[in-house]
Structure 1
């Protein structure tokens, strides 16, 4: 859908918000080049300086990446995610350590705060995950696995924790793919399941949920550190 035309008040802020919304809603996926300056000027009815200032601000937050002579590309879906991507870099061990901190607390909260609908969602995601594993759909598997962990954190109903975790979505999905035991043509240990974690949450057992969350993340960390 085309971007809305701006009003003549706070133009830069309005453009920043509309660009941010386009990225957040998936109009421009991660890795895709956004429209050129002339195209954005025409769509928004503003001058090039306004567009440049807005793009510069979003590049500073990590949402966009300006590549001289090539264009501007989407780097993350939110400023939080962009900041985390910069901090995490390519150090998988650090990503897993942060995941452990957030997911263990998320599992503990989920075991006491979850709804029946959220338990059903966890079961459905695990079923989909199992199908993708059986069919060798590696990229789908990584996305669904990351979605399952996000659903666990959401089930804890802590808004700030959920927001922090959402900022990690892209690096978590990448870490799932990097640590997955189903990489084609590579020998690995058996795939780590999450049924016991879902059971602990369903049974409102926070201690067991914490133990399950700690267990699989500690195993992933051990694999990375021994590789």
Structure 2
């Protein structure tokens, strides 16, 4: 690796360490190399290294455990910040944001989905129906989340996908506790996917409204 040169050394070290995390060279849960190794690798002083590490800890990518070392906690700065913020939010607040993202995703998916996107959405729609028929709640929750994520993917907006996947991950336990296979919103997916398939934005938004409003009644 090239030694860091002029500019702001802390920022350059931060960026190089962040890249190692993002590229999965330093995997989530793994311990990063010790200070001596990193100082040699980057050609920097201990103080510069510690400032960069502190900055990465601050945004949530790293965590330092006394007597053990420094470990990777997230692979993306935005994900780390979102997870920290979402952990302090109520389920009702998170659901309001999810509602807005779901509707925007459905609208964009109507305009942008590809044949491959539709196959993916239909796959998860059928998985939801199969889980209901088999009475498999855990399978339904996983398929339901995957279906909604497939709709967001069909919107072809990477930032929207990042926001959405973080929110759904934060909600998963609450979804599992709240969902019942007897609820009518567990069978509404066919109408949503059909609306997207014919590119009917209004109908797609109405299906999202129905799904979220029904869910809100149970929290």
Fold shared per TM-score above 0.5: yes
Q: Quick check: 2:109–2:155 contact (8 Å CA) kept in 1? A: yes
1:163 aligned to 2:184?
Answer: no
- C-alpha RMSD of the superposition: 3.5
Structure 1: 5+ residue stretches without partners? none
Distance 1:44 1:115 in 2: 45
Q: Quick check: 1:139–1:177 contact (8 Å CA) kept in 2? A: no
Which residue of structure 2 lines up, in the alignment, with residue 149 of structure 1?
148
Distance 1:19 1:117 in 2: 36
1:55 aligned to 2:48?
Answer: no
Query: Do the aligned partners of residues 223 and 38 (structure 1) sit closer, same or farther apart at CA in structure 2, a change above 3 Å counting?
Result: farther
Which residue of structure 2 lines up, in the alignment, with residue 195 of structure 1?
190
Give the TM-score of the pair, scaled to structure 1.
0.73
Q: Quick check: 2:3–2:41 contact (8 Å CA) kept in 1? A: no
Q: Which of 56, 63, 66 is the equivalent residue of 1:65?
A: 63
Which residue of structure 1 lines up, in the alignment, with residue 200 of structure 2?
205
Structure 2: 5+ residue stretches without partners? none
Which structure has the greater CA radius of gyration?
2
Query: Do the aligned partners of residues 198 and 43 (structure 1) sit closer, same or farther apart at CA in structure 2, a change above 3 Å counting?
Result: farther
Q: Quick check: 2:103–2:205 contact (8 Å CA) kept in 1? A: yes
Q: Quick check: 1:92–1:175 contact (8 Å CA) kept in 2? A: yes
Larger deviation: 130-139 or 103-112?
130-139
Q: Give the superposition deviation at 1:179.
A: 0.7
Deviations 1:1-26 (A, max 9, x none): xxx44432444333322322233334
Q: Quick check: 1:145–1:176 contact (8 Å CA) kept in 2? A: no
Query: Do the aligned partners of residues 66 and 217 (structure 1) sit closer, same or farther apart at CA in structure 2, a change above 3 Å counting?
Result: farther
SS at match of 1:180: helix
Q: Give the superposition deviation at 1:88.
A: 1.7
Larger deviation: 47-56 or 29-38?
29-38
